[in-house]
Amino acid sequence: MLKKLESLSLRFAEVEKAVQDPLLIKDAKLYKDTMREHSHLCQVMEAYERYKAILSGIEDAKHMISHETDGDLKEMAREELDALEKERPEMEEKIKLLLIPPDPLEEKNIIMEIRGGTGGDEATLFAADLYKMYTRYADMKGWRHELISANETEVGGFKEISFSISGKYVYGSLRYESGVHRVQRVPETESQGRVHTSAVTVAVLPEAEETEIEIRPEDLRVDVMRAGGPGGQCVNTTDSAVRLTHIPTGLVVIQQDEKSQIKNKAKAMRVLRARLFELEEGKKNAERAAERKSQIGSGDRSERIRTYNVPLIRVTDHRINLTLYKLDTILQGYCDELVDGLCLYAKEEMLREIK
């Protein structure tokens, strides 16, 4: 660990010099990457300096205990040694976590897509429950969320709903929510009181910037159409709905929630860009997975990750074997135990790989 810290110390000197170069700001991507690395290395170096001070203090205290004749000074040295010996493993754990290379995706905003799966109306109702859970969690974190599109059912659920969440480290916090969420509960229409199982699919897409994903005009087919709806005033009388087809991949995005065709196209482009970015990241992840095992599941949206058992007020995350008997509060947006547990587990797995 000390060798690693020493090499990072040399790298920090290089980066420190780079951030002082006035030409750096001319390259937006290089500037952003360099400043991100500088911020991370500052934290590492601060911890490293404290760790060196602890090691030096331990040696000084041991020397004083061995050579000092004054009883009071020896006792002071022993107290100092005890305090430093206690702090040492805590600082070592902190440094180990800091040695995990920062993921540039962690800082990204996200587009979250929730789709009702097996279970009919119950699945769409649970999709609505999850939407409320995530937006309430975002509110508690001080993040912003914006509805992109929604396909509402007659019972008040969602066949599918997509929305963006923006703020500090949104993707880093919610990236492990992708997958199948299963709910077990008694539907309101069930006269026998039998528990039914339904499933909802969640996809968490890091939102890509225009400079990160290039969509060439010749690769895009744009169709405009009249927006559909349940009838009455909800149906547009103008061709405001937009369907984008990315020809090379076959990805299709339809956006019709806005009355403006321009706004619908802009929202559709955001979603398309995020899906293309996810495809690229998926390829990279597949390459990494070939070299090492996945930390907490594949992140594949077909993977069952969590079960919400309403009668037992129980939530179980199957990837980390975490069970909490507080379903009501979790659905109200108090998701920190789940989110933090997954992030901590992922870091622990990365630490094992570093070792």
Domains observed in the chain:
2-98 (no CATH), 104-290+300-354 (3.30.70.1660)
Q: Rounded CA gap, 18 and 114, in Å?
A: 43
Q: Rounded CA gap, 112 and 321, in Å?
A: 24
Q: What is the pLDDT of residues 138-162, one digit of tens each?
A: 999 999 999 999 999 998 999 999 9
Average pLDDT along the chain: 86
Looking at 32-36, 91-95, 207-211, 271-275, which range is the least confident one?
207-211
pLDDT given at position 299: 45
How many CB atoms within 10 Å of residue 350? 18
Q: Rounded CA gap, 78 and 39, in Å?
A: 37
Q: What is the mean pLDDT of residues 265-288?
A: 82
Q: What is the CA radius of gyration of the chain?
A: 26
Q: Which residues pair with 145 in a beta bridge?
A: 165
Distances (CA, A) of 188 to 80, 127, 195, 331, 335: 65, 16, 11, 18, 26
Q: What is the mean pLDDT of residues 47-68?
A: 91
Q: What is the pLDDT of residues 105-128, one digit of tens each?
A: 888 899 999 999 888 889 999 999
Q: What is the mean pLDDT of residues 274-287?
A: 79
How many CB atoms within 10 Å of residue 204? 23
Using 50, 70 and 90 to split pLDDT, how confident is the model at 287? Answer: low
